[in-house]
Amino acid sequence: MTFTREGRTAADLVTYIKSSGINVSLSTPDYSRRDFESHGVAGLVRVSPHAYNTTEEIDRLLVAVASS
């Protein structure tokens, strides 16, 4: 799952979320240049709840994003 948040760069948001101990990564246009360009984004926060995140981390992720 990928997302952005208005008012924050994806890179800054990834750094903030990781500082809370939550496993996320930064997706850049290198992964899908056409999609990134067509949507006008330079980066996306990637979360993989099915593979790399616990239920507790997802709960903390929601709080972290809401408070960012």
Give residue-wise pLDDT tens across range 29-38: 887 888 778 8
Please list, residue by residue across 32-56, b when 16 or more beta carbons sit within 10 angstroms of its beta carbon and e when fewer do. eeeebeeeebebbbbbeeeeebeee
Joined together, the tokens standing for residue 46 give 């990637």
Under CATH, to which class is 2-67 assigned? alpha beta
Joined together, the tokens standing for residue 59 give 């709960």
Joined together, the tokens standing for residue 66 give 């809401």
Q: What is the pLDDT of residues 5-36, one digit of tens each?
A: 889 999 999 999 999 888 899 998 887 888 77
Does this model's pTM top 0.95?
Answer: no
